[in-house]
A and B are shown apart, each in its own frame.
Chain A
Amino acid sequence: MANMQKMIRNKRKITSSTTPLQDICYRFSRNKTAMVGLFTLIIIVLAAIFADAISDYDRLAIAVNASEIFQEPSGKHWFGTDFLGRDVFARVVFGARYSLSFGVGCTLISVTGGCLIGATAAYAGGVIDNIIMRTLDSIMCIPPILLTLSLVSVLGTGLESIMIAISLGSIPGFARIVRSVVLTVVQMEYIEAAKAGGVSTFRTIVFHVLPNAIGTIMVNATMSIAGLIIASAALSFIGMGIQPPAPEWGAMLSESTIYMRTYPYLVIFPGLAIVITALSFNLVGDGLAEALDPRMRD
């Protein structure tokens, strides 16, 4: 018995030295590429928030300036000017607002939708679970770009419509993750309920299930932001998303393709903006995945 107590005491000592969260943060901070991603991401977010301080929306990003068309990148116009004389740098900075809100907004919609649907399916079980899961399977069979295009043609090209159209395709993925996590716990509950009654299902979900699922969801969500930023830019690029003259990166590229032979910088800078934003989200997501994976410990 004394032996047992000593063992328990020892065990407590080991776990109390570092909490899992500290461990994860430590491992994340040691990951150089992830930190580069996080740093870049912070800069992009700050640029989007303080875009008005960095540049002037009405004067530089939107107003047509006939005397300054097609200026090569210079001290005055860092990224040059486009066919209407608008400052590409200003447009790229303001474009960050579109891309970040699309990426984050769509992911929030998908994660929320996924959590609701996945948890409902797991809880309801039986026929309802079956119907939900088969419906998700069906949606997953539809090529995402075609699903989005169809939805856009139904809902129109407003900001919210585009967000919904883009998000819908990624709901099934999140729903599946949440469902499987909830299911494992619901199954365990039989044992647990038998052993220690009195703990409500809700409490179990909040304190025991969610912490397990949050890691996976966070990693998937971060990566999904990158994917959805690209998807929204692609949608604007083919003219089915945000419409010009709004300074959206995809729309900017779309407007510039015909001039790219003579003025390649017009397609380089907005594209690089997309790549760098998506890459920093991917780096952070990748770093999170490694930091959360218990197999990668030590």
Chain B
Amino acid sequence: MYKYIARRLLSIIPILLLTIFIVFVILESTPGDPAMIILGRDASPDALNALREELGFNKPMLLRYLDYVQGIFTRFDFGESYRSKQPVFDNILVQFPTTLKLAIFSVIVASIVGIPLGIVSAVRQYSLTDVALTVSALFLASIPGFWLSLLLVLFFSLLLGVLPSTGIDSWKNYILPVATLALPSAAILMRITRAQMMEVWKQDYIRTARAKGANEWRVITKHAIKNALMPVITIVGMSFAGLLGGTVIVELIFGMPGLGNLIISAIKLKDIPIVMAGTIFLSTLFMLIMLLVDLLYAFIDPRTKSQFKR
């Protein structure tokens, strides 16, 4: 088991390096001279040159990439912001908890709503409930998050005045953003749970359970759910990983000081180190979460679990 985990951990290192490389190359190609961004338009050519030399911009890109990676792996050094001159990683650590909270709350709400509805939909296949649920899931998946949040703000903040529309002062601030993020995820989870459940529902062992005299409820809870939910766990993990990187627009609309907001404002200010570090940070998290989900899946499935025992 440990050997397997270690092997999987090692296997993500090349992908991680490649991801950093891709992000690095894209963002390094951003038009605009970093030296000029830092020093301003009026800086003298000498000063600009000196700064370029100091920051290493005169070196070839590959060398700068290696320096960058070395900095990350040896000192957690993601560089300094062009604007504030502060280490970028500190910035990220300050802003990340908001994003994390948003993602965690959203994935919890999405699972609580989506999975049971998916089960109901599958068990009542082709009934009115099923059709209504399936169509609403598609409908939810077709709503742009930013528009949904506008509507929620319009209704709950502007018209009813019951929920705040910006800030992070209290738990109430999280309700609307979490609703915005959770609803489409719930729709996806519902669709996948339904598909899995329907597949399981057709299996022979479901009939076997019925033949033993088990009632509908018992067949669902004891036999079907366990089989159907194993693949769903992967999707829950993926949703969570996706949500961590998907809060950007919601943070922007609700004025929440999260990582997404930080990255967007950095893009607009061409503060490349922040954008790069933020993107790499979120990509790495995505990778780690997917790995964790994989391991978890292997651990709970008796078919793979018994392989590790040996």
User: Are A and B in contact, CB atoms below 8 Å, in the complex?
Assistant: yes
B283 within 8 A of partner (CB): yes
Q: Which of B9-49 contact A (CB under 8 A)?
A: 14-15, 18-19, 21-23, 26-27, 29-31
Of the candidates B15, B147, B278, the one whose C-beta lies within 8 Å of that of A267 is B147
Chain A residues near B29: list those with CB within 8 A.
154
Of the candidates B26, B131, B287, the one whose C-beta lies within 8 Å of that of A151 is B26
C-alpha spacing A226/B284, complex, angstroms: 28
Find out whether the CB atom of A146 lies under 8 angstroms from the CB atom of B138: no
Find out whether the CB atom of B147 lies under 8 angstroms from the CB atom of A275: yes
A7 within 8 A of partner (CB): no
Chain B residues near A240: list those with CB within 8 A.
267
Find out whether the CB atom of B245 lies under 8 angstroms from the CB atom of A143: yes
9 A-B pairs in the complex with CB atoms less than 8 angstroms apart: A138-B15, A141-B15, A143-B245, A144-B246, A146-B248, A150-B267, A237-B249, A278-B143, A282-B141
A230 within 8 A of partner (CB): yes
Find out whether the CB atom of A153 lies under 8 angstroms from the CB atom of B150: no
A56 within 8 A of partner (CB): no
Q: Which of B261-310 contact A (CB under 8 A)?
A: 263-264, 267, 270, 275, 278-279, 282-284, 286-287
C-alpha spacing A9/B209, complex, angstroms: 41
C-alpha spacing A226/B133, complex, angstroms: 19
A145 within 8 A of partner (CB): yes
Q: Known: A33-B131, A153-B30, A261-B158. Is A145-B245 also a contact (CB below 8 A)?
A: yes
Find out whether the CB atom of A141 lies under 8 angstroms from the CB atom of B142: no
Q: Closest approach, in angstroms, between the C-beta of A141 and any C-beta of chain B? A: 4
Interface code B136-149, partner A: CB below 8 Å = 1, 0 otherwise?
00110111111100
C-alpha spacing A222/B289, complex, angstroms: 29
Q: Interface size of A by Cβ–Cβ distance < 8 Å?
A: 43
A257 within 8 A of partner (CB): yes
Q: Known: A150-B267, A260-B158. Is A275-B144 also a contact (CB below 8 A)?
A: yes
Of the candidates B30, B31, B135, B245, the one whose C-beta lies within 8 Å of that of A146 is B245
Interface code A129-164, partner B: CB below 8 Å = 1, 0 otherwise?
000001101110111111101110110100000000
A264 within 8 A of partner (CB): yes
Q: Report how many A-B pairs have Cβ atoms within 8 Å.
A: 142
Q: Which DSSP category, helix, strand, loop or mixed, fits chain B's interface? A: helix
Of the candidates A134, A143, A257, A271, the one whose C-beta lies within 8 Å of that of B286 is A143
Q: Which residues of B pack against A, CB within 8 Å? A: 14-15, 18-19, 21-23, 26-27, 29-31, 131, 134-135, 138-139, 141-147, 150-151, 154, 158, 242, 244-246, 248-249, 252, 263-264, 267, 270, 275, 278-279, 282-284, 286-287
Find out whether the CB atom of B147 lies under 8 angstroms from the CB atom of A253: yes
Of the candidates B18, B150, B245, the one whose C-beta lies within 8 Å of that of A257 is B150
Find out whether the CB atom of A142 lies under 8 angstroms from the CB atom of B19: yes
C-alpha spacing A219/B244, complex, angstroms: 27
Q: Which of B18, B21, B142 has the most CB of A within 10 A?
A: B142
A286 within 8 A of partner (CB): yes
A38 within 8 A of partner (CB): no
Q: Known: A150-B279, A261-B154. Is A134-B14 also a contact (CB below 8 A)?
A: yes
Chain B residues near A143: list those with CB within 8 A.
242, 244-246, 248, 279, 282-283, 286
Chain A residues near B22: list those with CB within 8 A.
135, 138-139, 142
Q: Closest approach, in angstroms, between the C-beta of A157 and any C-beta of chain B? A: 12
Find out whether the CB atom of A141 lies under 8 angstroms from the CB atom of B283: yes
Write the chain B residue with the least CB distance to A280: B142
Find out whether the CB atom of A145 lies under 8 angstroms from the CB atom of B248: yes
Q: Which of B30, B135, B275 has the most CB of A within 10 A?
A: B135
Of the candidates B26, B135, B141, the one whose C-beta lies within 8 Å of that of A150 is B26
Find out whether the CB atom of B264 lies under 8 angstroms from the CB atom of A141: no
Q: Closest approach, in angstroms, between the C-beta of A247 and any C-beta of chain B? A: 16
Q: Which of A220-256 contact B (CB under 8 A)?
A: 226, 230, 233-234, 237-238, 240, 250, 253
Q: Known: A234-B146, A267-B154. Is A279-B139 also a contact (CB below 8 A)?
A: yes
Find out whether the CB atom of B138 lies under 8 angstroms from the CB atom of A282: yes
